[in-house]
């Protein structure tokens, strides 16, 4: 049926985001390794903050997020006035497309990239442009070749998802320097905390006017259920984003939990070191079974199988064993499975299951 009321151009082209599976009907003891969640859970400090804020739920939350922005600035050595907070980094991505893209413009993102880049571009009536990677790694020259006079935003995920790969800070700086002055480079650092020594692009932002980074509390901080993210960029960009941000886009519980988690550095370091150890172990154990992966700088590995049929058969076998991982055919990686790095017992359970699958398929 044709309706007289029509949405803006591009919105009808959106394919809705689909998250990782979380349930297996009729199964107990399900191991969910499909959404890159922190296997340790949330820090105790954040849980305590939520209990405390529960007595004031009848009050409106802070409109300017000053306390959370101050905590982020203190921990990362940033300027608080150049930080914006949102309902997950997804909302910051939406703000960026809303503010800087639009009809007649283009938004570039890389192959295998986060589907919200395309969705947010289309929601702003901009044209999404996908650029190929080179062996699952961002190709700066390919991005630069794709830039046209209509380009306004370029999204780069570093470390990448679902690949786990990184590009060097020198390559990021080369990209930023080669882009036209009217193009904003957005560095999505949802997994930046797992890449030892990587600042997510903060130093580059301080030196340039065309770079923004986004971060999240959903991964290493274990607060996926609260939906809190943040962005850092030049003052003029953050001012613009605040013009489109709703006054109460984060609730009191989100703000309190995120601030407590940000200041709990011991928790973050424990999660980082534990993830690094088990990520290396999981990758090596699967490689011995004939399932290789690229070096991962995130909290997951991208396991590569012989072909799509083997990947799908292995995923089905894992389900039979009560283990959920992420199929990534929708990200143009049909012969791969993304596996979240869990606890040591989680990882051993995964390896045992895949070993059983491999032996059963001989």
Give residue-wise pLDDT tens across range 64-107.
999 999 999 999 999 999 999 999 999 999 999 999 999 999 99
Residue 360 has pLDDT above 90, yes or no: no
Beta-sheet pairing, 336-340 with 326-327: antiparallel
Percent of the chain, pLDDT > 90?
88
pLDDT digits (tens, 9 = 90+) for 169-183: 999 999 999 999 999
pLDDT at 23 over 70: no
Task: Indicate the fold that domain 18-41+266-360 takes in CATH.
Answer: 3.90.1150
Query: Looking at residues 320-330, what average pLDDT do you find?
Result: 94
Nearest to 147 by CA among 177, 170, 123, 122: 177
Beta strands in 50-150 (DSSP E): 83-86, 106-110, 127-131
Find the mean pLDDT for residues 256-281: 97
Q: How do beta strands 323-324 and 31-32 pair?
A: parallel
pLDDT higher than 90, residue 31: yes
pLDDT of 119 strictly over 70: yes
**Chain-wide mean pLDDT for the chain?**
93
Question: Given a cut of 80, is residue 27 above it in pLDDT?
Answer: no
| pLDDT confidence of residue 11 | 72
The mean per-residue pLDDT over the stretch 330-343 comes to 95
- 238's enclosing H/E stretch is helix 235-244
**What's the pLDDT at 4?**
78
Q: Give residue 1's pLDDT.
A: 59
Q: What is the pLDDT of residue 346?
A: 97
For 177-234, the pLDDT digits (tens) are 999 999 999 999 999 999 999 999 999 999 999 999 999 999 999 999 999 999 999 9
In the prediction, which pLDDT does 25 show?
65
Supply the pTM of this predicted model. 0.92
Which pLDDT does position 22 carry in this prediction? Answer: 60
Q: How open is the CA angle 143-145-150, to the nearest 5 degrees?
A: 85
What is the model's pLDDT at position 21?
A: 63
Nearest one of 198, 348, 342 to 271, comparing CA atoms: 342
Residue 119 DSSP symbol: H
Is the pLDDT at 10 greater than 80? The verdict is no
CA 27/CA 29 separation, integer angstroms? 7
What are the residue boundaries of the structural domains of the chain, listed by start?
18-41+266-360, 44-263
- The answer to whether 275 and 194 have CB atoms below 8 angstroms apart is yes
Domain topology for 44-263: 3.40.640
Instruction: Say if residue 251's pLDDT is above 70.
Output: yes
Is 19 a residue whose pLDDT tops 90?
no
DSSP 182: T
């Amino acid at each position: 049926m044709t309706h007289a009321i029509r949405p803006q151009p591009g919105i009808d082209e959106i394919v809705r985001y689909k998250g990782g599976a979380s349930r297996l009907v009729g199964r107990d003891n399900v191991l969910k390794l499909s959404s890159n969640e922190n296997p340790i859970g949330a820090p105790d400090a954040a849980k305590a903050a939520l209990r405390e804020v529960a007595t004031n739920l009848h009050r409106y939350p802070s409109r300017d997020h000053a306390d959370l922005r101050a905590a982020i600035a203190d921990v990362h050595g940033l300027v608080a006035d150049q930080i914006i907070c949102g309902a997950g980094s997804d909302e910051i991505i939406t703000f960026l497309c809303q503010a800087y893209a639009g009809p007649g413009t283009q938004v570039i993102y890389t192959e295998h990239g986060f589907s919200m880049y395309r969705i947010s571009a289309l929601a702003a009536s901009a044209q999404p442009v996908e650029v190929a990677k080179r062996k699952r790694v961002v190709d700066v020259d390919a991005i630069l070749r794709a830039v046209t006079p209509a380009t306004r935003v370029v999204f780069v995920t570093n470390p990448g998802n679902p690949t786990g790969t990184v590009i060097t800070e020198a390559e990021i700086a080369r990209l930023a320097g080669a882009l036209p002055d009217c193009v904003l480079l957005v560095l999505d650092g949802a997994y930046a905390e797992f890449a030892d020594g990587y600042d997510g692009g903060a130093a580059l932002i301080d030196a340039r006017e065309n770079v923004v980074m986004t971060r999240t509390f959903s991964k290493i901080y274990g607060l996926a259920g609260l939906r809190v993210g943040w962005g850092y960029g030049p003052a003029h960009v953050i001012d613009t984003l605040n013009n489109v941000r709703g006054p109460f886009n984060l609730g009191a519980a989100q703000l309190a939990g995120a601030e407590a988690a940000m200041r709990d550095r011991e928790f973050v370091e424990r999660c980082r070191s534990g993830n690094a150890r088990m990520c290396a172990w999981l990758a090596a154990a699967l490689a011995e079974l004939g399932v290789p992966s690229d070096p991962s700088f995130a909290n997951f590995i991208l396991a590569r199988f012989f072909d799509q049929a083997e990947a799908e058969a292995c995923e089905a076998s894992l389900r039979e064993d009560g283990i959920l991982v992420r199929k990534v055919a929708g990200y143009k990686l049909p012969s791969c499975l993304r596996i979240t790095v869990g606890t040591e017992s989680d990882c051993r359970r995964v390896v045992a299951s895949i070993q059983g699958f491999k032996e059963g398929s001989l």
